[in-house]
Structure 1
């Protein structure tokens, strides 16, 4: 039928619409056929040449982009929350560490009691000096 429509219908818009309808009917009616079998049935070299395939592919691609964006936003929010919580804990530990130093505790004791990561001291300038 698709071959006949391509040969007999001279109006390109009408011809494309009829071929699209035929494509959709065949794809819907024979869901178990492979893309190659559908293309052969319709007289196409490849199913990718059909308008229905191109539209379905474009829709799928758009949906995939939207899902990817949503997942990325969710992951970003989650990572941001985790990083924020960790920064908050680190700041609090640093405050406790500084208070302990001011009260006369040794640097080692202040580290143990505050839970501050000793590596964070080497990153900060002026660490370990009471204020």
Structure 2
């Protein structure tokens, strides 16, 4: 069973995300901010991280960079999931990080997201 970690400050999304992905056979963990998300990622080593950009404590771009530069998390693939449009220069910076694997706009279909996750993880 593969593990997903959602790092997003929208707590309402946590319940819906966990319900869908757990029912689809994933182990799911959620954190509501970048600081705690970084700690949890290092502790549980998920197969994939789904990361929001706009969070009050540490923004998603910074979390992505820290994950990429930490030996214990540098190889965990990260999908950005945000209500904010990804600017071209920000996307280019993210693409240079070895852990960035794509972007979904909110709202996004969990079914479409899961298809991408399965392809990305090879199952």
Structure with max Cα Rg: 1
The answer to whether TM tops 0.5 is no
**TM-score using structure 1 length:** 0.21
For normalisation by structure 2, the TM-score amounts to 0.22
- Structure 1 or 2: larger strand share? 2
Which has the higher relative contact order, 1 or 2, with Cα contacts under 8 A spaced 6 or more apart? 2
